[in-house]
Amino acid sequence: MADLTLTAALMLCLAAAMAGWVDAVVGGGGLLQVPALLLGFPHLPPTYALGTNKAVAVAGTAVAAVTYAHKAPVDVRLALRLGGLATLAAAGGALFATAVDKEVLQPLIMVLLLAVAAFVVLRPQFGVHHTERVPSRRRTAAALLVAGAGIGFYDGLLGPGTGTFLVIAFVALLHMNMLNASVTAKVVNVGTNVGALAVFTANGTVLWALAPLMAAFNMTGGWLGARMALRRGSGFVRVVLLVVVTALVSRLAYDQWWAG
């Protein structure tokens, strides 16, 4: 922390605010925040960037979740079930984070993100209208498995695009529109952040001297993003989703083939 300049600290806070806004609307704020932390502390192991990112993101995600809950309908019981499972899964993912070769997994993530982008582009009405159908037990179980366990584990292991994947899963499996899916995703994402943060904290890889300051900016961005999404609706969330997916793919491609 001693070698962090005032300019660098301000840039990290700005990145945290922008990340909070993106996370609140559709997820994917780590795309901005993790690279910013890596640039701010190039001599520290990457796990410090991951751990500090979780400490910051959990605050902004929680504020966004509360903002959404006051204005938009959310199935609290289902969201809490998903969030509880995701918390445990994310903790497990974080435990495996240091043992997995991320260079192998990144191309697979890019393919998945490209498939998501193509699907959303080719189906313009996807997630725009709410079907009002109650999901069957089979679909609810699938959501628990895919979103709670699978995506929760992924968030602890790697992280980029977790909120985006959650939104898509909820629209596809539970017939939600983009706005309702984003609301539910925020609740689940709080759980994944808490689960992963617990592991990173136990390992001592969180920069607690900086995290509270960045968290304040992240919470502001999350509050603004949630209010904007509520005001503009599912169409706006859909556009932001496509922008975030494109940015995620570009960032992962850069990390995979051109960085270093």
Task: Give every CB contact of residue 176 below 8 A, 6+ residues apart in sequence.
Answer: 127, 130, 170, 184
pLDDT greater at residue 20 or residue 161? 20
Q: Which of 30-34, 103-107, 130-134, 249-253 has the highest mean pLDDT?
A: 30-34
Q: pLDDT digits over 51-99, tens only? A: 899 999 999 989 988 888 777 777 778 888 998 999 999 999 888 876 6
| Domain residue ranges in the chain | 6-257
Give the pLDDT band (50/70/90) at residue 183. Answer: confident
Asked whether the predicted pLDDT for residue 117 surpasses 80, the reply is no
Q: Return the pLDDT at 127.
A: 47
Q: Return the pLDDT at 177.
A: 78
Q: What is each CA distance from 185 to 6, 115, 143, 254, in whole angstroms?
A: 34, 20, 12, 27
- Counting residues of the chain whose pLDDT is more than 70, the rounded percentage is 77
pTM: 0.76
pLDDT greater at residue 215 or residue 184? 215
Dihedral angle over CA of 245, 83, 69, 112, nearest 10: 10
